[in-house]
């Protein structure tokens, strides 16, 4: 099991190794998709039984992943 931060874990035994909110089986991608779909933080937390800090941790995790991306421009 890999701890990416206090609230996000990656465990091959849970959700096929996708990042999830610690102590749940809620994938980070579901949290982010719900936010992208227009739900607010409070509604996402309530819908999936999470705390506000869990939702913010998912956003922070995604931000760190995107920050590491390299974009290659092709002519």
Q: What is the pLDDT of residue 75?
A: 63
Residue 74 lies in a domain: no
Residue 20 lies in a domain: yes
Q: What is the pLDDT of residue 54?
A: 96
CATH number (domain holding residue 8)? 1.10.10.10
Q: What is the pLDDT along the chain (75 residues), one digit of tens a residue?
A: 655 568 999 999 999 999 999 999 999 999 999 999 999 999 999 999 999 999 999 999 999 999 987 877 776
Q: What is the pTM of this model?
A: 0.85
Residue 47 lies in a domain: yes
The domain of 47 spans 2-68
Nearest in space to 20 (alpha carbons), one of 1, 37, 35, 44:
1
The H or E element spanning position 21 is strand 20-21
Residue 12 lies in a domain: yes
Query: Number of folded domains in the chain?
Result: 1
Q: What is the pLDDT of residue 7?
A: 93
């Amino acid at each position: 099991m890999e701890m990416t931060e206090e609230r996000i874990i990656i465990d091959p035994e849970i959700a096929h190794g996708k990042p999830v909110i610690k102590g749940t089986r809620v994938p980070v991608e579901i949290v982010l998709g719900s936010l992208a779909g227009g739900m607010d933080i409070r509604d996402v937390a309530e819908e999936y039984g999470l705390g506000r800090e869990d939702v913010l941790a998912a956003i922070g995790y995604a931000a760190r992943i995107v920050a590491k991306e390299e974009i290659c421009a092709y002519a």
